């Protein structure tokens, strides 16, 4: 079993360089920001703003409820 088989096809794509990139769909399924500055993060938190990220995530999650 390939390690990619644990993900749905809508969850990722492979770049020309062979990198795995998770889609916004995957991030929303996961349900939280990992603070890794992911390309398709629906929360759009940038690395230079991590000091306030916890409160931003809480505010976003509350607004989505």
As a whole number of angstroms, the distance between CA 52 and CA 20 comes to 28
pLDDT at res. 51: 46
Report the pLDDT value the prediction gives residue 3, as an integer from 0 to 100: 82
Show me where the domains of the chain are located.
3-64
Specify the residue for token string 């390309």.
39
pLDDT value of position 63: 60
| Of residues 6, 44, 40, 45, the one with CA closest to residue 25 | 40
From first to last of the 65 residues of the chain, give the pLDDT tens digit. Answer: 688 888 999 999 999 999 999 999 999 999 998 888 888 999 875 555 554 555 555 655 566 55
The answer to whether the CB of 14 falls within 8 A of the CB of 2 is: no
- Rounded to whole angstroms, the Cα distance separating 50 from 38 reads 13
The whole-model pTM stands at 0.60
pLDDT at 27: 93
């Amino acid at each position: 079993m390939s390690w990619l088989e644990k993900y749905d096809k809508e969850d990722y794509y492979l770049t020309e360089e062979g990198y795995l990139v998770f889609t916004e769909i995957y991030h929303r399924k996961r349900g939280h920001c990992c603070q890794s500055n992911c390309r398709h993060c629906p929360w759009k938190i940038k690395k230079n703003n991590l000091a306030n990220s916890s409160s931003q995530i809480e505010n976003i999650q509350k607004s989505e409820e």
